[in-house]
Amino acid sequence: MKAFCLNNISKVALNTLKAPDKTVDDVNDADSILVRSAAMHEYELPKSVLAVARAGAGVNNIPLDKYAEEGVVVFNTPGANANAVKELVIAASLLASRDIVGGIEWVKENKNDEAIAKTAEKAKAKFAGTEILGKTIAVVGLGVIGVLVANAFVELGMKVRGYDPYLSINNAMKLNKNVKYYEKLEDTVAGADFITVHVPAMDSTKKMINKKVFDNAADGAIVLNFSRDTLVDEADLKEALEFGKIKKYVTDFANPNVVNLPNTIILPHLGASTEEAEDNCALMAINELKDFLENGNITNSVNYPSIGMGVKQAQYRVCINHKNIPGQIAHFTTVISENGGNITDFVHKSRGDFAYSIIDVDGDVNEEALKALDGVYRVRVI
């Protein structure tokens, strides 16, 4: 592994690299790239780069299809920062339900008052707020983060509802039995005192938190968004905040629209910004790259399917990035057998327009013949 770091990457994670694995100072010497937030849409990859790993979950800074067509696998690290986000969501619920920020600012403004202790007793009532115990919270999205958030609010004594049309079996098994699952968004948010959103930013989720959701919630509900700003219809949000239908909106996605809205608490993008989260994300990214480079296995890719065949046992392991078109597997096996190779194991998966095959072979492998096949983006023989 010869990794080039496009951003500053956790030294704790990088220190786990043991020779011959290392980082390199020139991307032209690299077989992989570690990245956090650097924009890569205009970035030209050397042919030597086989994979890019994002130390985080969001990958909107990376041209996924372009890299897939170049045979470059892009990884992310879902769940590595989940606890950091969960803790910030809990903090946000308390900041919004009790005017803690207002109280802090009042103290700062009155710091020169020699009788501040007495004055504070009189002033505190306007910052009192309400407790979250017994309130209803709708958790929209039950991925790794959403499940942690839902379970945490159960432990804090809230009535928790969950919604996710794509809830995985693995996440469902981790969900606290006291989380009430709903199949429709409108039912999940109906009468809810809090709404917290934890879904990926896609065309299908854009502005999903909108007037219809706000109208269905309880009067004076609190909305928490630590996923992406595009998930919320900010025009509808403005109206709901101005008329008091929504009491508070808390997010860590500052943009020119929300920073000027009333009754908001806007943070810099702190969701995954803890030392532990950055270490965890970087370490997961490094491990994903190592397994891919050494064994051809793909875990947590965002442009190719997840696929694996364990540690290489045969003489050669052939890894092929290719188009998802009929007849490819037959072509691969024919070329290998005609050139004297004996296939000992084989696995193939596709994801949309892109596919990936791992073939264990004893005997000769004609790499150039495989590369010459129609629809093949890259061939790598380990």
Q: What percent of the chain has pLDDT over 90?
A: 95
State whether 99 and 192 are in the same domain. yes
Question: Are both 8 and 102 inside the same structural domain?
Answer: no
Tell me: do 232 and 109 sit in the same domain. Answer: yes
Q: What is the pLDDT of residue 44?
A: 92
> pLDDT tier at 331 (50, 70, 90 boundaries)?
very high
pLDDT at position 60 over 90: no
pLDDT at 49 over 90: yes
Which is it for strands 316-323 and 354-363: parallel, antiparallel or unpaired? antiparallel
Q: Count Cβ atoms below 10 Å from residue 85 Cβ, excluding itself.
A: 26
3-state class (DSSP) for residue 379: strand
Q: Given 215, 243, 266, which residue is the final one in a domain?
A: 266
- Burial class from Cβ neighbours inside 10 Å (0-12, 13-18, 19+) for residue 133 reads exposed
Same domain, 289 and 367: no
For residue 131, pLDDT over 90 is answered with yes
Q: What is the pTM assigned to this prediction?
A: 0.82
Residues making up the chain, counted from first to last:
382
Is 90 exceeded by the pLDDT of residue 58?
no
pLDDT of 99 strictly over 90: yes
Chain-centre distance for alpha carbon 91? 20
Give the model confidence (pLDDT) of 179-226 as tens digits: 999 999 999 999 999 999 999 888 899 999 999 999 999 999 999 999
Domain count, the chain: 3
Q: Are residues 101 and 186 in the same domain?
A: yes
SS3 246: strand
pLDDT in tens, 34-44: 999 899 999 99
Q: With a cut of 90, say whether residue 263 has pLDDT above it.
A: yes
3-state secondary structure of 121: helix
Query: Taking CA 89 as the corner, what is the angle to CA 77 and CA 251, rounded to the nearest 5 degrees?
Result: 90
- Residue pair 146/226 in contact (Cβ under 8 Å)? The answer is no
3-state secondary structure of 357: strand
